[in-house]
Amino acid sequence: MIDIATQIGAIDRTVSQRTEEDGSETVSVLARRTYKSDPADLWDALTNPERIPRWFLPISGQFHEDGNFQLEGNAGGRILECAPPTRLRVTFGGDDSLVELRLAAGEAGTTTLELEHTVPLAMAQSGAGALWVGPGWDGMFLALGLFVDGIVADDPAAAALSPEALAFSERSVRVWAEAVRESGTATTEQLEEALAISLAQFAPGTEDPAST
């Protein structure tokens, strides 16, 4: 059984809009969680093509800097930077969609994982664009946490569609919406529209999106 409240609360979420050095406007989605794992093992779970399918999705590609990768039934990209066991930077679904993983050792054999997904403002339209990706990354953080704790599903893709997982996703969408609201990077109308679409995508069949 998934303790939804605990799993949701284990992740810190931040949404921001900023101006890059080249003058371009971007939207950043940042998720952070601490795992009971040392950096080397967590890095291996995140990057080893033999371990990734045990908790996430089958993956293929060339696993080195400037190599390409493809997640089965999901996005692919190019590996821009690989500095084990602390930093991985890739494109994800397009050249302008950048994902960076940062790992830092903590106390008592723990590791803090930060995932930052950055896209052009023109692509995201506003900070509400966080709702297109944030809940999906929450699902990844959840699956990785269960894997680290020794809970391995026979079929991770099917487990992601279980009633428990959908309930987790529904709550995830709503807490990401709150992160957007706190960031001040979207209008009420933009947020309400994104919330409805995100619930339909990540947690179909849930209650009216107005009841946040």
Q: What is the full DSSP assignment across 86-149?
A: TEEEEE-SSTT-EEEEEEEE-GGG-EEEEEEEEEEHHHH-SGGGHHHHHHHHHHHHHHHHHHHT
Q: What is the pLDDT of residues 180-190, one digit of tens each?
A: 999 999 999 99
Strand spans (E) along 41-93: 59-61, 68-71, 76-83, 87-91
Q: What is the pLDDT of residues 103-141, one digit of tens each?
A: 999 999 999 999 999 999 999 999 999 999 999 999 999
* pLDDT at residue 46, rounded to an integer: 98
Cα(172)–Cα(177) distance, integer angstroms:
9
* pLDDT at residue 207, rounded to an integer: 54
pLDDT > 70? residue 209: no
Report pTM.
0.94
* pLDDT at residue 208, rounded to an integer: 56
pLDDT > 60? residue 212: no
pLDDT > 50? residue 25: yes
Q: Are 30 and 13 in contact (CB under 8 A)?
A: yes
